[in-house]
């Protein structure tokens, strides 16, 4: 799935109208609708939160609560490729902290820091469900196990043109 980060306000509005036309106006559709906004726009803007709240008839505070709770939902655009380093206990036991430090050195900023203009974004996540093959990373939608710093560099070279 490709995430587009250069969606204009008009394009975002058109995307929201398409999603609303295809989604029932019920509160039970709040999370799936926010996930669709994230997938199509790349993040969930304040304007999108207001529109979604109105569509499913919940408060903006409820929508913000969902966006801020779920780690995969973002309020700001990030690079085209998202790299998630698993920091759960099983991956910690096999070296994910060293992998995270490698990513931070390569980017020059801490995991989770958004860098304007950078083609990829790196963040910590907790459990990719690949515990037996840690340390694990997810690049885009693909999960990779037994990742070393060298293997991560090779995976990024294939995926990201930075």
Q: What is the DSSP string of 99-151?
A: HHHHHHHHHTS-TT---TT-SEEEEEES--S-GGG-S-EEETTEEE-S--HHH
CATH of 81-159, one of 3.40.30.10, 1.10.260.40, 1.10.730.10, 1.10.1060.10: 3.40.30.10
What is the model's pLDDT at position 140? 87
Closest CA to 85 of 158, 12, 156, 11: 156
Q: Is 123 exposed, middle or buried (0-12, 13-18, 19+ CB in 10 A)?
A: buried
pTM of the entire structure? Answer: 0.77
Q: Does domain 9-69 sit in CATH 1.10.10? A: yes
In this chain, the answer to whether the domains covering 9-69 and 81-159 adopt an identical fold is no
Asked if 87 contacts 125 with a C-beta cutoff of 8 angstroms, the reply is yes
What is the model's pLDDT at position 159? 80
What is the model's pLDDT at position 6? 62
Averaged pLDDT, groups of 10, the chain, 162 residues long: 62 95 97 95 95 97 96 86 95 96 93 84 94 95 96 88 52
- Here the tokens at position 46 are 């304040």
Domain ranges of the chain: 9-69, 81-159
* Sign of the CA dihedral running 71, 73, 78, 79: positive
């Amino acid at each position: 799935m490709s995430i587009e980060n250069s969606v204009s306000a008009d394009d975002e509005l058109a995307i929201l109208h398409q999603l609303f036309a295809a989604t029932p106006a019920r509160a039970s559709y709040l999370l799936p609708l926010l996930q669709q906004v994230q997938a199509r726009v790349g993040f969930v803007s304040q304007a999108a939160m207001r529109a979604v709240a109105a569509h499913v008839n919940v408060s903006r505070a409820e929508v913000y609560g969902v966006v801020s709770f779920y780690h995969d939902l973002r309020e700001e655009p990030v690079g085209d490729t998202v790299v998630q380093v698993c920091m759960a206990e099983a991956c910690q036991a096999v070296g994910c902290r060293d992998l995270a430090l490698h990513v931070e050195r390569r980017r020059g900023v801490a995991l989770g820091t958004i860098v304007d203009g950078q083609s990829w974004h790196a963040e910590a996540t907790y459990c990719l469900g690949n515990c037996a093959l840690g340390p694990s990373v997810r690049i885009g939608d693909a999960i990779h196990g037994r990742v070393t710093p060298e293997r991560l560099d090779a995976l990024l070279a294939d995926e990201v043109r930075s």
